[in-house]
Amino acid sequence: MGIKKVGVVGGGFMGSGIVQVCAQSGYEVVLLARREQSLNKGIATIEYYLSRDVEKGRISQQDKDLIRARIKGSLTQEDLNDRDLIIEAIPEDTERKKKVFVELDRICPGHTILCSNTSCLSVTELARATNRSDKVIGTHFLSPVPPSKLLEIVKADTTSEETLATVKKFGRSLGKEILVAKDTPGFIFNYLLIALTRAAEHLLEDGVASAEDIDKSMTLGLGHPIGPLALADFNGLDVGYMVSCAMYERSKNPCLAPSATLKELVDSGRLGRKTGEGFYKYKKEK
Ligand SMILES: NC(=O)c1ccc[n+]([C@@H]2O[C@H](COP(=O)([O-])OP(=O)(O)OC[C@H]3O[C@@H](n4cnc5c(N)ncnc54)[C@H](O)[C@@H]3O)[C@@H](O)[C@H]2O)c1
């Protein structure tokens, strides 16, 4: 099946990036938000990044206008009822996501593929909440979406081969390299990332080395662009904590459970860069 019309539910950090890459790749996109304020914020974010691309000479003003014309913002669910493929990018909460899938299943034509951008939740559970479980799949975009080279596709237990093939083709058309994972806690990317971060936290807890030296072992030793503790601070320790809890809940694998240090930092409001302190202390950003 050919994909022409795309929908995105949720215009936050990830949703706005997904809308942008889809429109830049020639798709007509409807961005569905819950409130006018978040819709405006999502559209303004896209405008900002497109204008920056024009300033840096990556695209022309005419390209920007064409891309922008492909994007329509909406607060009305029914505006998604002619889409070929819809990507849900609302907060990481199974019950909230399920509600969105049930509604999309109700209003969309039979051919519409429903995707979730979940970082670690069960895509199969979302699929089973619908009457089209063969057409539900995970599309885990990485942040920031436009420059990221990867798209991790998560095949639910119920996803058909046809849906997988269509979504792989769609992902490649966005300029992404495709990874395909089974529907397991954290899939490939977050399983590896959380396991590495947890090991780094345990080294710190046991007094084996400083945060700087633990991070350096990965940046200088393996060529990672950033060490695991600095990355956790950058992403927000509350986000990492929530993802860890969800992955542990699904897997009961103790290697994925939040460490005592992480819990202590989160409980005390030290959430990383955004609060000025996490594993590291940060000077206030202007
Ligand atoms: N932030 C990351 O680095 C990252 C990376 C990969 C995947 N993800 C996943 O992407 C998803 C979204 O994360 P985010 O960081 O963009 O969150 P976010 O909080 O920035 O954005 C979520 C948006 O969804 C909106 N929303 C909530 N309920 C809605 C509904 N019913 N209908 C329409 N809009 C609704 C909110 O108003 C908000 O604008 C999550 O599943 C997350 O795990 C996040």
Residues 10 and 132: their CA atoms lie apart, in Å, by 21
Q: Which pair of tokens denotes residue 113?
A: 């593929």
Residues 165 and 186: their CA atoms lie apart, in Å, by 22
140 has catalytic annotation: yes
18 Cβ inside 6 Å of ligand 1: no
- How many whole angstroms from 220 Cα to the centroid of ligand 1? 33
Residues 39 and 227: their CA atoms lie apart, in Å, by 34
Check: pTM over 0.85? Answer yes or no: yes
Q: What is the homologous superfamily of the domain 5-182 according to CATH?
A: NAD(P)-binding Rossmann-like Domain (3.40.50.720)
Residues 54 and 50: their CA atoms lie apart, in Å, by 6
User: For each of the chain's 286 residues, which pLDDT tens digit applies?
Assistant: 789 999 999 999 899 999 999 999 999 999 999 999 999 999 999 999 999 999 999 999 999 999 999 999 999 999 999 999 999 999 999 999 999 999 999 999 999 999 999 999 999 999 999 999 999 999 999 989 999 999 999 999 999 999 999 999 999 999 999 999 999 999 999 999 999 999 999 999 999 999 999 999 999 999 999 999 999 999 889 989 999 999 999 899 998 999 999 999 999 999 999 999 999 999 875 4
- Please identify which of the residues 16, 38, 116, 119 carries the catalytic annotation: 119
CB 127 within 8 A of CB 158: yes
To the question of domain 189-275 being in CATH 1.10.1040.10, the answer is: yes
Residues 15 and 162: their CA atoms lie apart, in Å, by 25
- CATH 3.40.50.720 region(s) of the chain? 5-182
10 Cβ inside 6 Å of ligand 1: yes
- Please identify which of the residues 133, 190, 244, 259 carries the catalytic annotation: 190
CB 100 within 8 A of CB 47: no
Q: At 12, which amino acid appears?
A: G
- How many whole angstroms from 118 Cα to the centroid of ligand 1? 9
